Copies of this chain bind each other. A is one copy, B any other.
Amino acid sequence: MSITLLKISCPDRVGLLARLTTFVAYHGGNLLEVHQFTDALNGWFFARLAIDSGSLALDTAALSKAFSSLAVDLKAQWSIRETTQPMRVVIVVSKADHCLADLLWRWRSAEMPMEVPLVVSNHEDLRPLVEREGVRFELVPVPGEKSGCPEARAAAFAKLTGLFREARADLVVLARYMQILPASICEEWFGRVINIHHSFLPSFAGANPYRRAYERGVKLIGATCHYATADLDQGPIIDQEVVRVEHFHTPDDLLRLGRDCERLALARGVRYHLDDRVLIHGNRAIVFRD
């Protein structure tokens, strides 16, 4: 069954949900699922409506047009999308393969409603893993920050975003990409770049989180799936996962145990995004989980 997803956030006011559900009913739409959240502290309204596409009297374009005048009145941010058109996801990696292998397995198993037109890396290592799945792999080496070649570095990132555009990416997933995206990319692609950080943010933001977790002697480690922003590791958090550790776990053990957290948190976060279940407000992510 094809489903039409309406996602909306706007200032709260009386009767919002009645207006939305009446709008859908007016166009013949059969509501399959409604999620709504009113942030009373900030006076904001969030909703996600899943509608049986076949029941609608209008196609997606016409429905969007009909909705846009209502949306203007509500000062809303919104989107309408049909699930027959899965998102196109570009995965960006470095050398670590666990998140990539996991995403590819879930994609192949039809667990993730997405297309993967491209994987990009700054290293060659993972090319075989990608190409054996019949997925295009592109190498975009990035000169180090201390290379003294800011122009070459900028050119590399320009090439990267060029590839995103060429692949008509709806979403970019940084699956343990060990480069920091320039602020300008984070801003241009805001809400469309998901990153996995290998710590339980805000703990151990920045480099070497497992080593620092070991040194601090924490009893739980974790991973955080969040939207990339210009402020490193500060973007809206979509999901987190933790695992209990003990004194006998070395930094290498934390790495190993952390990999499982990273795979799970990233997979869940990406899945929520692909299904239009995430709405961003300021630095918080409203996630209508499934």
Interface residues, chain A, CB within 8 Å of chain B?
A: 14-18, 21-22, 24-25, 30-34, 36-41, 55, 97-98, 101, 105, 109, 111, 132, 200-204, 215-220, 222, 236-240, 242, 244, 246-251, 253, 256, 260, 264, 283-287, 289-290
Contact = CB atoms under 8 A, between A and B. Distances in A.
A237 B215 contact: no
| Interface hub of A15, A24, A237 (most chain B Cβ within 10 A) | A15
A85 to B, nearest CB: 22
A260 B264 contact: yes
Nearest to A213: B202
Nearest to A289: B246
A286 B247 contact: yes
A123 to B, nearest CB: 16
Contact of A25 (B15, B216, B287): B15
Contact of A36 (B33, B55, B222, B237): B33
A287 to B, nearest CB: 6
Nearest to A39: B247
A14 B54 CA distance: 13
A7 to B, nearest CB: 14
Given A21-B18, A36-B34, A236 B217 contact: yes
Given A105-B101, A219-B240, A286-B247, A33 B25 contact: no
A17 B38 contact: no
Given A18-B25, A18-B31, A202-B204, 15 more contacts: A15-B25, A15-B31, A16-B31, A17-B34, A18-B22, A34-B36, A98-B109, A200-B203, A202-B216, A202-B218, A203-B203, A215-B283, A215-B284, A246-B287, A247-B286
B202 A220 contact: no
A231 to B, nearest CB: 12
A105 B111 contact: no
* Copies per assembly: 4
Nearest to A286: B247
A290 B40 CA distance: 14
Given A21-B21, A200-B220, A201-B218, A111 B14 contact: no
Contacts of A287: 219, 246-247
A138 B14 CA distance: 48
Contacts of A216: 201-202, 237, 283
Contacts of A236: 217
A25 to B, nearest CB: 4
Given A18-B31, A217-B285, A283-B216, A41 B250 contact: yes
A226 to B, nearest CB: 9
